[in-house]
Chains A and B, each alone.
Chain A
Amino acid sequence: MSSEEIEKIVSDYVERQGSIIAVLEAVQNRYRYLPEEALRIVARQTGRRLVDIYGVATFYKAFSLKPRGKHLISVCLGTACHVRGGQAIAEEFMSQLQIKAGETTPDGEITFETVNCLGACALGPTVVVDGHYYPHVTRSQVGGIIADALAGMERDDGAAGARLFPIHVSCPNCKRSLMDYDRRLDGHPSIACVIAYDGRKGRLGLSSLYGSRASEVELEVPMNEPCRFYCPHCHEEMPHYSNCVECGSPMAALYIRRGCAYEVCTSRGCPGHLLNLDQPNMK
């Protein structure tokens, strides 16, 4: 840690008013925690009192004043995750890592913490490892998640819109899984569909990271032309419940769980997609 480096980070933000949280986030991204010296430099350079900076740094749970491990595992214990067994997941992590919540393993690899809500209640119990979301976690997955964390994942630097989480979808007609574990996109199993355009059919692979636009298309389709989506197992067409807000084409609805649909625009090249947590047709 060097004071010049921190001064440089602060000076990138200091022009803007009300940028304390942004400054602290930048410092924490660099050092994984907020060193005491850094807070003093931030206070001096922004012309704020140290008590105010310290107050902000201790108010938000996202900031840590203690050194953190290389990887951060957060288990959600919000209401929705709690009733689905988040506490048992947290206990499993604690016994496997042999540390308590808020502590770091002695080798400095993993910091484990519990959080009160990650805002992904429909996916609960949710675990986040370095910005990557694991939905519907069970106790048996805990060991694998720790191994994933130790293997290292692309660190989420907190850039706007970069918070991606994987989803698991099935065919709404036959309920068979659409996940293709052999063809991976963004490091996760892809979503396999069959699309048809102009009388020809081809395979389509979509990234299962919600928000990612990565895809593989075997069929040549002109840009902005809507295709038809079919299930690769039962060959039924995917239902349409709404139209894309971006281009107006029909959205193909894929089944996540009762009442939850992942809707994706059928138009080639259109980024339109949405997670519908209240889709009455998804029974």
Chain B
Amino acid sequence: MINLTINGVPVSVEKGTTVLEAARYLGFPIPTLCHKEGLTPYGACRLCVVEIGREPNSRLVSSCTYPVEEGLVVRTASERVVKARRMVIELLLASCPQSKTIQDIASRHNVRQQRFRQEHEDCILCGLCVRMCEEQMMAGAIGFRGRGRGRSLGTPFDVQSEVCRLCGGCMEVCPACQARCTFNEPEKAICGACANLSPPCVEKEQFHDMMCYLTPCVACEIKK
């Protein structure tokens, strides 16, 4: 067992536990976006940032990927953490404002506006769908392509993958609705499951590009 202190509360957890799990065990809330039970921690969204160590040598780490250490001192809601977390939320809002998941997180942290150039990305590259496809659906049909600014998600060569079983798992976990239904262009669809499931927006006259298969679908809500 490993002993550590989270927000001044001593806790003893098994070796290999992450700081996030230990904090949640004690009941300290840490927001997450790219973390999902059953999927390998990835540390992409940085929402779960916490401060470890003692001043002035303390540093910020992503709690979902940080394994507990003996004698570790963790603060989950220090001023520095809250500041960093609000910045992360602002950046997420700047890239993907139409995501209901991100909007909810922002409102929970009282972030009402962001100060960066507004973009409308379809994807925040959190890798949830990739891990879902590979680890839970055992398919490995989608993955990251390219790097840096050109990094994107999808199937190899942008054609429907032979290993995809149209399960829709990628859309289920997607917080930004990148793996959105493109039923009007089935050959480009990541999985085409929407064609089988008949989401409400399909029955509408126009299938707008921004539409997704979130429940509830943000685009559909706006259209109403």
Contacts and interface: CB of A to CB of B under 8 A. Distances in A.
A55 B157 contact: no
Interface residues of B, number: 15
A50 B147 CA distance: 17
A39 B146 contact: no
Contacts of B147: 58-59
A49 interface: yes
Given A39-B156, A54-B157, A49 B140 contact: yes
Interface residues of A, number: 11
Interface in A21-77: 36, 39, 49-55, 58-59
B217 to A, nearest CB: 27
B146 A51 contact: no
A32 B58 CA distance: 50
Given A36-B157, A50-B156, A59 B146 contact: yes
A52 B157 CA distance: 12
Interface in B151-176: 155-157, 161, 163
Contacts of B207: none
Interface in B128-157: 130, 134, 140-147, 155-157
Contacts of A58: 145-147
A42 B66 CA distance: 35
Contact of B145 (A36, A49, A55): A55
B145 A54 contact: yes
Contacts of A36: 157
A55 B140 contact: no
Contacts of A59: 146-147
Contacts of B163: 49-50
Contacts of B146: 58-59
A92 to B, nearest CB: 26
Which A-B residue pairs are the 5 nearest by beta carbons?
A51-B143, A54-B156, A49-B140, A58-B145, A58-B146
Interface of A: 36, 39, 49-55, 58-59
8 contacts: A50-B156, A50-B161, A50-B163, A51-B130, A51-B141, A51-B155, A51-B156, A54-B157
